[in-house]
Amino acid sequence: MSETFLVWLAEFAPTLIKLAVLLMGVATLPLVALAWIRGIYPHVPLVLLAIVPALLTCLTVLNDQWLILVLLCDAAIFLVGLMDLLTLPQPRWFSAQREMLRVASLGKSHQVSMHVNNASYRRIPVAVVDDVPQTCTADPPDFEVILEPRSESTLTYQLLPSQRGEFFLENIYLRLRSRLHLWRRYVTLPVQSTLHVYPDMKQLSEYAILARTNRLSLMGVRRTRRIGTDNEFERLRDYTPDDNYKFLDWRASARRRKLTVKDFQTSQSQRIIFLIDCGRMMTNEASGLSLLDHSLNSALMLSYVALRQGDSVGLIAFADDILAYVPPQGGMNQMNRLLHASFNRFPELTESRYDQAFLYLNTHCRKRSLVVLMTNLIDEVNSLSVQSYLTNLVGKHLPLGILMRDHSLFDAADHEPRNDRELFRAAAAAEILSWRHQVLSDLEHKGVLALDVFPEDMTAPLVNAYLAIKARHML
């Protein structure tokens, strides 16, 4: 009988294979329909159970009496899978809300809370994942919770943005499972939220706190001794070792029983214009942020300091064209205008047009101002353009060039070479640094102020340079 069966099997093998493929396709159609329409997928245990009758089918080659056992096993697995499918939670049982502030700071943790509601009378385990933008990371990335009957669960995570801009969080995703874990259901709950990632603003509040307590040295901001005095009295404050004895108020010191000095109001209503390069040379990264991000963070910090001093601040962002312009104005409301003009600005892979930027400056900003150019010099063509346009401002404006250093160049020059390749690399880096130093010297000899700093250390030297300019009445 076995030989007859084998002969028959060999004769009808092509037909049986086609029939098996057809049956597999028919059996797969309901699974595809469940996944497409209902978001239901078989889980690993169900797949392992389906392998059992497939292995038993191989025994029918030796003895066709195993066929009944295979059919019974198929029927049992089908019934168990169908019954477990009916235990899947329904999407209508769930709802969700998202709670977060609309404004976040670049590179700073931003708290997000999700409220997931279970309207059923069942105790349901569920996995929850938020619709996090690709440029952000969540900690933790997902949650495994058990929702009690008729209850709400609040899940909180920290969102870390790595790129500025406007982002949309549109959904909250749930992953549900059946009682026997044979099936999974994926549910999408529409919850729309908008997130504006601005340049780092938390440093502004840190500056305000340290300024009120006279501890700005903790941020690297030096107390600058004024040359000469301004006539308008501002306030009394505690004496510090850097203060001039002639500003001591002896009556107030006797009354308070501690040394007290007079503070005089510095010159106000002066103007600062930021020229921020958004071209290809600002695409390099340092400490995980682009050079443009570091520039915007420092510019906003100095803007905050200047606005507190009573000065006016404006901004021109440019690449191959003028991308944004904020007219110089005073008052703390100007911070909002600067933030809105810069938060969605990214470096572009185009050649920067310094001629258009300085022409636009000459057309729209005629009063004497402190012009702060933030850029990166990597070749002689760009350096000649920067030198010629900055030196043309001397006399009409006070130009300040911020040139950002490249860590790779300084590391290569400082690294002790161990072979010829590293020696040539160090020599090339030293030659570039020598050329860069010559550019800075030429700018200073022509009356242009210049700062040569690493991008991540730019803020404190920039603020110190501004305070020194104010103290020396250079504007």
DSSP 369-419: -EEEEEE---SHHHHHHHHHHHHHHBTTBEEEEEEE--HHHHHHHHSPP-S
Q: What is the mean pLDDT of the chain?
A: 80
More confident residue, 210 or 408: 408
More confident residue, 233 or 310: 310
Tens digits of per-residue pLDDT, 442-474? 888 888 898 888 888 888 888 888 888 887 878
Beta carbons of 200 and 106 less than 8 angstroms apart: yes
Predicted structure pTM score: 0.64
List the one residue out of 204, 201, 209 whose CA is nearest residue 103: 201
More confident residue, 471 or 386: 386
Say whether pLDDT at 183 is over 50.
yes
Beta carbons of 21 and 28 less than 8 angstroms apart: no
Whole-number Å distance between alpha carbons of 354 and 72: 81
Structure tokens at 323: 């991308």
Structure tokens at 387: 């030198």
pLDDT at 233 (0 to 100)? 62
Whole-number Å distance between alpha carbons of 277 and 59: 74
% of the chain exceeding 90 in pLDDT: 24
List the one residue out of 177, 173, 175, 147 whose CA is nearest residue 45: 177
- Which whole-number Å values give the CA distances from 226 to 114, 230, 265, 388, 474, in the listed order? 53, 9, 11, 32, 12
pLDDT at 94 (0 to 100)? 93
Say whether pLDDT at 432 is over 90.
no
- Which whole-number Å values give the CA distances from 389 to 30, 282, 331, 403, 444, in the listed order? 71, 19, 30, 15, 14
More confident residue, 468 or 227: 468
pLDDT at 7 (0 to 100)? 56
Whole-number Å distance between alpha carbons of 334 and 303: 9
Say whether pLDDT at 184 is over 50.
yes
pLDDT at 146 (0 to 100)? 92
- In this prediction, residue 203 has a pLDDT band, given cuts at 50, 70 and 90, of low
- In this prediction, residue 213 has a pLDDT band, given cuts at 50, 70 and 90, of very low
More confident residue, 416 or 214: 416
